[in-house]
A and B are shown apart, each in its own frame.
Chain A
Amino acid sequence: QKEVEQDPGPLSVPEGAIVSLNCTYSNSAFQYFMWYRQYSRKGPELLMYTYSSGNKEDGRFTAQVDKSSKYISLFIRDSQPSDSATYLCAMSVPGGSYIPTFGRGTSLIVHP
């Protein structure tokens, strides 16, 4: 079992839809959770960062962490074609490794 599992997709949705992107993990010590957005041939951009459990909202984006289920989600409201990208989750242990564990990324396509 991989430490972080993420469905590669592609996930295709119509413009305006609510998108749910998810990752599951096995290491209960993870406390830092990150979401990155990567456009084609560009470097990943840090989109959301949360510590421990709960929700965090930033504009149309909401990051949710459920530590009891070892499950994190990124919700995108009112999705736009410009949201089409690959979304990677990442997580790490406080004071642990210098290397966060990344998911493989989910490709999202928002069509007009």
Chain B
Amino acid sequence: SQTIHQWPATLVQPVGSPLSLECTVEGTSNPNLYWYRQAAGRGLQLLFYSIGIDQISSEVPQNLSASRPQDRQFILSSKKLLLSDSGFYLCAWSPTRGEKLFFGSGTQLSVL
């Protein structure tokens, strides 16, 4: 069966520090991968999605970047965190175009 791993679960970082969140999927190949951010009491905001290695689309101009170094690995990064980067970050994967997304457990990021 397929599983998605996302870590860390909680992260507290100072303003201006770098960020690296990692997500891996097991049990499938060539998944579509997604990074979402969810502010408290708000809906899901799509940040990046990838349909293959070196095929990454950015949905929102921001202080973040994404990379997919391997087929089942998706990394969210920042060189310098801002206060506004605080939030709940979710990685997800999908076996097919636009349907049945499966989410990781999320990372609560607090930038202080």
List chain A positions with a Cβ less than 8 A from chain B.
Answer: 8, 32, 34, 36, 41-46, 49, 88, 90, 92-100, 102-105
A-B contact count (CB 8 A): 62
* CB–CB A98/B51 < 8 A: yes
* CB–CB A43/B90 < 8 A: yes
| Cβ 8 A contact of A46, one of B32, B42, B102, B104 | B102
In the A-B complex, the 4 residue pairs with the smallest Cβ-Cβ separation, listed nearest first, are A43-B103, A104-B43, A92-B98, A32-B99
Nearest B-chain residue to A4, judged by Cβ: B43
Bound CA span A42–B94, Å: 18
Given A99-B46, A102-B43, A104-B42: A44 touches B103 (CB 8 Å cut-off): yes
5 contacts between A and B (CB under 8 A): A32-B99, A41-B88, A43-B92, A90-B101, A97-B97
Q: Is the interface of B mostly helix, strand, loop or mixed?
A: strand
Contacts A43-B106, A98-B97 supplied; 4 other A-B pairs, CB < 8 Å: A46-B101, A92-B98, A103-B43, A104-B42
Bound CA span A105–B87, Å: 17
How many residues in B have their beta carbons less than 8 Å from beta carbons of A?
26
List chain B positions with a Cβ less than 8 A from chain A.
Answer: 6, 32, 34, 41-44, 46, 49, 51, 59, 88, 90, 92, 94, 97-106, 108
